[in-house]
């Protein structure tokens, strides 16, 4: 039977609860304890797929096509598992399921209430994941902050689980923030005490309190939290800010969290082995020569919108023993006669996924710059559409080539709905989502990168390459290096006459892991690192008769 760890958050959001969950997973897995993770999101959207990235950051896609919170990406990268739709639960899903059951008459004329109907539905989700994954430990992150109205049913369900599975099989971890007051130069524990009180009011006494802080936490503070919040002194775990998120498992291990969890839950572990993480962190902290990459996108003001892209770049950079110098270029600034000189100093250009017309022309200009100046280019989903639009404008000799997403009446709809997709109007749940197989063409850069075929990568899009233009673009030098097994869908394309210009209809960033960079990111950086940086060109040989 699986055991459960519930992780709640106090004081403010964004204290790193997701990374704490992921790191707990890492330290348990390092003891050969099998783990999986689940995120409970209190909003009423059925999934975050319909939310703006400005509100919610990146939408992470699981292999089975669930559109989820970006925290799931961190769970996958830290625990090195492929999660499924069961790992993502929103209030919207729970309520719509309860209401659907009521409509079907499943409750036999009863009064439908938050307790027990909603809470039972939530507990079913915990148990379903436990059963399906057969993990020794299921780690569950309760989204939001304790005290939020929306989060109450989730907390109540977490409380009820204690009696169902027994005290040794459940653990409550509370992550809080210790704010620093500059005037008195001290960390304050009062907000933590209040949030623990709030938890207790709901009936949950935390077993462990992880305290986020930007400053070192003194023994005195730890003692105070232990006394006021009624947790053991060794269960007050300091979590001071570190320079890389990959260091968090090492910090938690050092503070004894792994052993504490093992003891409290009576787990039977192997000795921990975090040597690979230690190596990774050592590598990250070693000064290395940078590779300068421009990320040209629409949502660059909120870098969380490209969380997995940044991580995948980081994994690839580490593989090559280099450092990432990432510049974020708002694509709108490159539009019309906008200044593209910012691209002059970069060694690679990446155009990530996105929706809507804003900033598209700037991305197309970035692709033109990459093609004409032979700068490595990696396009991800929308980045493939942009590469195809750009190349078509050049090959067809018309600036009208476009995606019907941006111009429904374009003369050259090089990216379009497939004939059987036309007529779709609903925006929720109408995308090609999750893993699809892709056959790679021998000798292509994509085939070289992956070294195998077929490959499976994750999708999230509505529009596709329009096959009516296949031949014409091929003649002009476009290579279709990845196709669906029936040959109907272009999944990867490349520019033949270019050192490395490649784009995929899927999102390779979702499968990249520390230590195993995604092959496309790896080879993109491999090509970029060979581009001379501005100012790094060797001086001309000076001959004496000049």
**Based on CB atoms, which residue is closest to ligand GLN, 178 or 381?**
381
Catalytic residue status for 507: yes
- Considering the complex, what minimum distance in angstroms separates the CB of residue 463 from ligand GLN? 4
Query: Do 29 and 252 form a contact (C-beta atoms < 8 A)?
Result: no
- Could you confirm whether 381 is annotated as catalytic? yes
> What residue is closest to ligand GLN based on CB?
353
Alpha carbon 205 to its chain centroid, in Å, reads 31
Q: Is 463 an interacting residue with respect to ligand GLN (CB under 6 A)?
A: yes
CB atoms within 10 A of CB 183: 5
How far, in Å, CA of 444 to CA of 449, rounded? 9
- Output 22 or 388, the one with its CB closest to ligand GLN: 388
DSSP-assigned letter for residue 256: T
Strand partners, 424: none
Single out the segment in contact with ligand GLN by CB under 6 A; choices: 151-159, 438-446, 456-464, 531-539: 456-464
> Distance (Å, rounded) from C-alpha 296 to C-alpha 389?
16
Note whether 354 binds ligand GLN by CB under 6 A. yes
Name which of 126 and 510 has its Cβ closer to ligand GLN.
Answer: 510
Q: Rank residues 18 and 379 by Cβ distance to ligand GLN and give the closer one.
A: 379
Please report whether residue 461 would count as binding ligand GLN according to CB under 6 A.
yes
Q: Which is nearer to ligand GLN, 194 or 462 (CB)?
A: 462
Residue 460 touches ligand GLN, criterion: CB under 6 A? yes
Active site residue 229: no
Least distance between ligand GLN and beta carbon 437 (Å):
19
Does 297 contact ligand GLN by CB under 6 A? Answer: no
Which of 85, 355, 404, 441 forms a contact with ligand GLN (CB under 6 A)? 355
Start-to-end CA distance of the chain, whole Å, equals 82
Residues 391-420 within binding reach of ligand GLN (CB under 6 A): 405
User: 120-126: which pairs have CB atoms within 8 A and are 24 or more residues apart?
Assistant: 121/94, 121/97, 122/40, 122/89, 122/94, 122/153, 122/154, 122/157, 123/157, 123/160, 123/161, 123/164, 125/38, 125/86, 125/89, 125/94, 126/4, 126/38, 126/157, 126/161
- Using CB under 6 A, which of 260, 363, 381, 388 touches ligand GLN? 381
Binding residue for ligand GLN (CB under 6 A) from 65, 353, 359, 376? 353
Count the Cβ atoms, other than its own, within 10 Å of residue 296.
32
Which is closer to ligand GLN, CB of 460 or CB of 522? Answer: 460
Write phi, then psi, for 175 (nearest 5 degrees). Answer: -105, 120
Cβ neighbors of 404 (< 8 A, separation 6 or more) are 410, 413, 415, 416, 417, 463
Q: Which of 211, 381, 438, 493 is catalytic?
A: 381
Residue 382 touches ligand GLN, criterion: CB under 6 A: yes
Catalytic residue list? 381, 507, 509
Name the residues that contact ligand GLN, by CB under 6 A.
353-355, 381-382, 405, 460-463
């Amino acid at each position: 039977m699986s055991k459960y760890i519930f992780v709640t958050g106090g004081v403010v959001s964004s204290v790193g609860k997701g990374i704490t969950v992921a790191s707990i997973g890492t330290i348990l897995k390092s003891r050969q304890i099998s783990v999986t993770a689940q995120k409970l999101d209190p909003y009423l959207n059925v999934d975050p797929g319909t939310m703006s990235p400005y509100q919610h950051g990146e939408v992470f896609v699981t292999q089975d096509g669930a559109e989820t919170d970006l925290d799931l990406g961190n769970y996958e990268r830290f625990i090195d598992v492929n999660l499924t739709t069961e790992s993502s639960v929103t209030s919207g899903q729970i309520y719509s399921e309860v209401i659907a059951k009521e409509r079907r008459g499943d409750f036999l004329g009863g009064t439908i209430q938050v307790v027990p109907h909603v809470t039972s539905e939530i507990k079913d989700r915990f148990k379903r994941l436990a059963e399906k994954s057969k993990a020794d430990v299921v780690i569950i992150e309760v989204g939001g902050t304790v005290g939020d109205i929306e989060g109450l049913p989730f907390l109540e369900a977490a409380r009820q689980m204690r009696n169902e599975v027994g005290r040794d099989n459940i653990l409550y971890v509370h992550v809080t923030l210790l704010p620093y007051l500059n005037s008195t130069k001290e960390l304050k524990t009062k907000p933590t005490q209040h949030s623990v009180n709030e938890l207790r009011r709901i009936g949950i006494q935390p077993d462990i309190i992880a305290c986020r802080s930007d400053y070192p936490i003194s023994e005195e503070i730890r003692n105070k939290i232990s006394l006021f919040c009624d947790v053991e002194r060794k269960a007050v775990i300091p979590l001071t800010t570190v320079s890389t998120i990959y260091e968090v498992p090492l910090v938690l291990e050092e503070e004894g969290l792994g052993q504490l969890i093992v003891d409290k839950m009576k787990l039977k572990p192997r000795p921990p082995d975090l040597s690979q993480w230690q190596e990774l962190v050592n590598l990250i902290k070693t000064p290395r020569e940078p590779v300068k990459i421009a990320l040209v996108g629409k949502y660059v003001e909120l870098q969380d919108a490209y969380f997995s892209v940044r991580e995948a770049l980081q994994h690839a950079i580490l593989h090559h023993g280099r450092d990432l110098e990432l510049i974020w270029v708002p694509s709108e600034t490159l539009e019309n006669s906008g200044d593209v000189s910012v691209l002059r100093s970069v060694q690679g250009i990446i155009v990530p996924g996105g929706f809507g017309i804003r900033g598209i022309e700037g991305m197309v200009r970035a692709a033109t710059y990459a093609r004409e100046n032979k700068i490595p280019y990696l396009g991800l989903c929308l980045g493939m559409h942009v590469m195809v639009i750009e190349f078509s404008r050049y090959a067809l000799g018309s600036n009208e080539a476009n995606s019907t997403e941006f111009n429904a009446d374009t003369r050259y709809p090089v990216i379009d709905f497939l004939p059987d997709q036309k007529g779709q109007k609903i925006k929720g749940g109408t995308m090609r989502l999750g893993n699809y197989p892709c056959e790679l063409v021998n000798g292509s850069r994509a085939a070289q990168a992956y070294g195998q075929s077929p490959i499976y990568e994750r999708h999230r899009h509505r529009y596709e390459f329009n096959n009516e233009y296949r031949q014409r673009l091929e003649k002009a030098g476009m290579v279709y290096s990845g196709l669906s097994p029936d040959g109907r869908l272009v999944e990867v394309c490349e520019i033949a006459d270019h050192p490395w210009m490649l784009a995929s209809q899927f999102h390779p960033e979702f499968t990249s892991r520390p230590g195993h960079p995604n092959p496309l990111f790896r080879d993109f950086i491999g090509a970029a690192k060979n581009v001379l940086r501005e100012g790094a060109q060797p001086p001309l040989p000076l001959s004496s008769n000049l």
